[in-house]
Chain A
């Protein structure tokens, strides 16, 4: 393709008011005037919301009627809006990679809300830099890659089984890997499920049957994923099974490794006999409680909502209420007291169960974490805030509600798939609000208590949801990846040292033997364009193709030259 001469570059600058998010804090006329003076800029416009349909149409009109061949939008964050603007440019016939975005909201009007003049100056600088870079942008074509129509689900609890069934019901082959001998996960340790009090065993059995009956699903128990290579659409996984190592090709991966109950060693006299956890109580209920149990005290938030584990584990209150009612059902004259900080009975069903439990005579006593209950040989002593004094409650069984904590396998899986975990050891999704079941890494999805403690209803919903998310690349049959990636710009300079390979967080680089010796190779589809390799390469052999040295230098020069 012939290089465009300087005269051919026609840059349009669209400056967004973002309602008053930007316009309320910056001098918009000044920004517009300053943009008009910049090299190659042939068109400048301000919009109330550039992202609205009206604003988008203005960009398209600019390309079509003004002959723009570079577009700069000065508005909010590229994280949310770059894809929209790019595809709008494409719809108007411009290569989408000739688009550049400048963030004058988050970086100017928001952070410099009280410094109008300085914020305006900074916005001008940023626009000038964006325009300088835009002039050097080059057209690019997205990278396409086939997707292997098979899914891998790691973890055979309710989340994993539901996700696997979801994919199988859509006609995709699915491989489920479970480390234990039996499918079912945490539910195998439970007695009855609230609020409907259905048997956990029956529910698990139903799911297992549906899964094993489905011809599309393959289940490996007592198995472990030991290696995963590749990228969305083209993963290769090694699975250690009882019948030897299996190597399979897969397109997508669902992580459903679940959580486990915290063991409160050394807390409240925990001994596993008179002082037990809710999980151990489930077992006792399954076996049938000893009939001499007359006084039960449950203590909430044991090991959670403290400094070490600041989170609320979401499901322990509903578990306690459910088990308290089951105890009353079994031993009608048993006195059950629940000592709590906040009763987390959110929603319709939980609150209903909470009310029913009060009607059944379960007693609730609020405690202050600054004055926690004390478990003695005869009972539990607690300060009652409404009575304003200490109370001694007799207890022949003390049940500690401990949080769901991250599984130890989470760490291994996180390493294996190169996906992050949060401060509490739970997997970290791509966006806590808008993409709760996706990882930032394409092709890897998440559901169940591996993400955060969830009850059965929520886990089933998430399992189905993860299947839905994972089915998108499978149903499309191919993936299209952003071409903003690392490229070996100077092959001769590369010495094949492999430093970049060791540092790449996405496994997107490998050293290959070539006629010219050992050279690094970029796996296009796996590369996220993070730039670690280019920054590391002391030979300057690698570069990120939309953040070239030339482009960055031009931005700096534009900044300093202003």
Chain B
């Protein structure tokens, strides 16, 4: 069986997650071997996923950590003061 490009597109995400059935995967695989366009779509999708996951995309604001731990300290000490009451 041969599948068309637009059907292959429906499987790209599943292919990248390796969640396709073995038969479907095989069909997609065979299509990709000879279809340059679908291969480029697959490669670009994967590349964009990798870039999206990169820590550099979302940088922590300056001072984020200090402000967070200051607030946590306040919370922790306020809990310590009225201890065990509601346990």
Asked if A and B bind, the verdict is: no
- Measured CB to CB, the residues of A under 8 A from B are none
Interface residues of B (CB under 8 A from A): none
